[in-house]
Amino acid sequence: MKNYFKFKILLSVVMLSSFTACQQQFVTTPNLPTEASLVADSVGNGLETELNIDYVTAFKNLKSAYSRCVAFTGEKDFVFTDNKLEEDLEMGTLFARTEGGAYLSKALIESIGQNKTRMTLFLPSSYKFAQSRLKLDAQRALGKDPMCNVAKPI
């Protein structure tokens, strides 16, 4: 029994250290210095998907998910998100940025009809898993990512 607990502790430490390594590699890099350079050098000039959800709800879901799963403070790194909902234009924008202000990603949420939204995700061209990130952000915008879309207590 004692060996079992030692194994569980060792496994937890290994998993935590590998998670931290992934965070440093994939969360703070690659990045670009300005929004314009991010958009100009993005994978596929922006990856798009259409969602069957109202743009305001998609924006709020994504904003909440980003604050839970994208923004973080680490020993050496800090990532924050900022966003803007422009209801008069029926669109919202969400950014992930480093402490120094470099851009990691941009998500553009636009209404394309009643309960229809286009999401465009801008990631640096050297981002390794762009299609997977697009699918993940689409699930987050729909409120279906069990890790990031957590209901707030009443």
Q: Is residue 5 part of a domain?
A: no
Q: Is residue 150 part of a domain?
A: no
Q: Is residue 132 part of a domain?
A: yes
Q: What is the DSSP string of 126-143?
A: T-TTHHHHHHHHHHHHTT
pLDDT of residue 26: 45
Q: Is residue 2 part of a domain?
A: no
Are the CB atoms for 105 and 28 separated by under 8 Å? no
What does the buried/exposed string (b/e) look like for 81-119 if buried means 16 or more CB atoms within 10 Å of the residue's CB? Answer: bebebeeeeebbbbbbbbeeebbbbbbbbbbeeeeebbb
pLDDT of residue 3: 53
Q: Is residue 16 part of a domain?
A: no
Q: Is residue 34 part of a domain?
A: yes
Task: Please give the residue range of the domain that contains residue 97.
Answer: 22-142
pLDDT digits (tens, 9 = 90+) for 124-152: 999 999 999 999 999 999 999 999 998 65
Q: Is residue 50 part of a domain?
A: yes
Top-confidence residue, 6 or 114: 114
- Could you tell me the two tokens for 93? 């924008």
Give pTM, 2 decimals. Answer: 0.79
Which CATH number do you get for residue 52?
Answer: 3.30.310
Task: Say how many domains are in the chain.
Answer: 1
pLDDT of residue 99: 87
pLDDT of residue 109: 98
Q: Is residue 10 part of a domain?
A: no
pLDDT of residue 48: 98
pLDDT digits (tens, 9 = 90+) for 12-66: 443 443 333 333 334 688 999 999 999 999 999 999 999 999 999 999 999 999 9
pLDDT of residue 2: 54
- Could you tell me the two tokens for 82? 């900022």
